[in-house]
C-alpha cells in the first residue's frame, strides 16, 4: 500500500467496546432525530412514507456499524462493497426528498461510525433547517372527502322528494341524486344520493329518522 494512503486511514482495529457502544448509541439517537425531522417535513405521511421512518433509524445505525467494521482496512472496504452489492432496491421513490433523507442518514451514520459524533451533532441542524424551511405546504382538505353515499329504498306509491325533504333539510348540508334503479321486481325504487352531513355526529340520528318514515324500506349511509 502507498505510504500516503496508509497514513491517511485511521486504524480502528482495537476499538474498545465502550467506544463502540457510544458510537452505535449516538447513531441510534441521531437516526431518531432524522426520522423526526422527516416526519415534520412531510406532515402526515402516506403508508410508504411512514415505512421510511424506522428505515432511516435502522439505516443510520447500520451504516455506523459498517463504518466501524471497515475501520482503516481497504480490503474490508472492498469486501463489504462486494457483499452489499447483492442488495437490490426495487421500490420506486415517489418523492425525491425521501432519497435526500436516505443520503442524510447514510452521511450521519458514516460520520458517527468514524468517530466524528461531535461534528455530526454540530452539522445536523443545517439539513434539518433546510428540510423544514422548504417543506411543501399541506394542501387544504378537499370538500369531496366529506361526501358520502346514501342509498334509500322507497316503496312504490310514495314520492321520494316529498318523503325525504324534511330529514334531508334537517341533517344534510348538500345532496343530489347519483343513481336510481327499480327493486323487488318494480315494487320499490333504490335511490342513491351523494350527501354531505351538517356535522359528523348526524349520521346515526339521520338514518334512524329515515327508517322511521312510512314508505322507507331501507336506508344505508357509507363513505364514498
CATH code for the domain in which residue 173 is found: 3.30.70.1150
pLDDT tops 50 at residue 9:
no
187 in the same domain as 93: no
User: How many domains does the chain contain in total?
Assistant: 2
98 in the same domain as 172: no
> Is 164 a domain residue?
yes
| Distances 119 to 23, 32, 204, 208 between C-alpha atoms, Å | 13, 17, 59, 65
163 in the same domain as 56: no
9 in the same domain as 66: yes
197 in the same domain as 115: no
> Is 191 a domain residue?
yes
89 in the same domain as 37: yes
> Is 138 a domain residue?
no
Q: Which of residues 92, 115, 133 is at a domain's end? A: 133
Q: What is the pLDDT of residues 82-101, one digit of tens each?
A: 655 655 555 555 667 778 88
Mean pLDDT score, 61-69: 83
| Other CB atoms within 10 Å distance of the CB of residue 200 | 7
> Is 44 a domain residue?
yes
pLDDT band at residue 152 using 50, 70 and 90 as cut-offs: very high
| Distances 138 to 82, 142, 146, 156, 196 between C-alpha atoms, Å | 42, 12, 18, 48, 23
Q: Which of 4-8, 82-86, 110-114, 142-146 has the lowest mean pLDDT?
A: 4-8
Q: Which of residues 99, 133, 167 is at a domain's end? A: 133
201 in the same domain as 121: no
125 in the same domain as 161: no
182 in the same domain as 105: no
Considering only CA atoms, which of 58, 71, 74 is closest in space to residue 109? 58
Residue numbers of the domain that contains 98: 3-133
Q: Which of residues 133, 152, 169 is at a domain's end? A: 133
Q: What does the pLDDT read at residue 151?
A: 92
> Is 105 a domain residue?
yes
148 in the same domain as 126: no
In whole angstroms, how large is the CA radius of gyration of the chain?
A: 31
By the 8 A CB rule, do 221 and 148 touch?
yes
> Is 90 a domain residue?
yes
119 in the same domain as 148: no
> Is 214 a domain residue?
yes
73 in the same domain as 158: no
Amino acid at each position: 500500500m502507498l505510504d500516503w494512503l496508509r497514513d491517511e486511514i485511521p486504524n480502528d482495529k482495537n476499538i474498545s467496546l465502550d467506544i463502540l457502544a457510544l458510537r452505535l448509541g449516538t447513531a441510534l439517537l441521531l437516526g431518531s432525530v432524522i426520522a423526526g425531522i422527516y416526519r415534520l417535513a412531510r406532515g402526515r405521511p402516506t403508508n410508504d412514507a411512514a415505512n421510511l421512518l424506522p428505515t432511516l433509524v435502522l439505516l443510520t445505525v447500520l451504516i455506523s456499524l459498517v463504518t466501524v467494521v471497515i475501520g482503516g482496512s481497504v480490503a474490508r472496504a472492498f469486501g463489504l462493497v462486494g457483499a452489499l452489492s447483492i442488495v437490490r432496491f426495487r421500490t420506486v421513490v415517489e418523492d425525491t426528498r425521501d432519497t435526500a433523507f436516505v443520503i442524510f442518514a447514510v452521511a450521519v451514520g458514516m460520520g458517527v461510525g468514524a468517530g466524528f459524533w461531535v461534528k455530526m451533532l454540530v452539522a445536523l441542524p443545517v439539513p434539518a433547517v433546510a428540510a423544514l424551511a422548504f417543506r411543501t405546504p399541506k394542501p387544504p382538505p378537499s370538500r369531496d372527502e366529506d361526501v358520502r353515499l346514501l342509498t334509500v329504498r322507497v316503496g312504490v306509491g310514495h314520492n321520494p322528494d316529498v318523503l325525504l325533504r324534511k330529514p334531508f333539510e334537517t341533517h344534510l348540508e348538500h345532496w343530489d341524486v347519483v343513481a336510481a334503479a327499480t327493486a323487488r321486481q318494480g315494487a320499490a325504487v333504490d335511490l342513491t344520493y351523494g350527501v354531505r352531513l351538517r356535522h359528523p355526529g348526524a349520521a346515526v340520528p339521520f338514518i334512524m329518522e329515515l327508517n322511521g318514515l312510512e314508505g322507507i324500506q331501507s336506508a344505508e349511509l357509507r363513505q364514498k
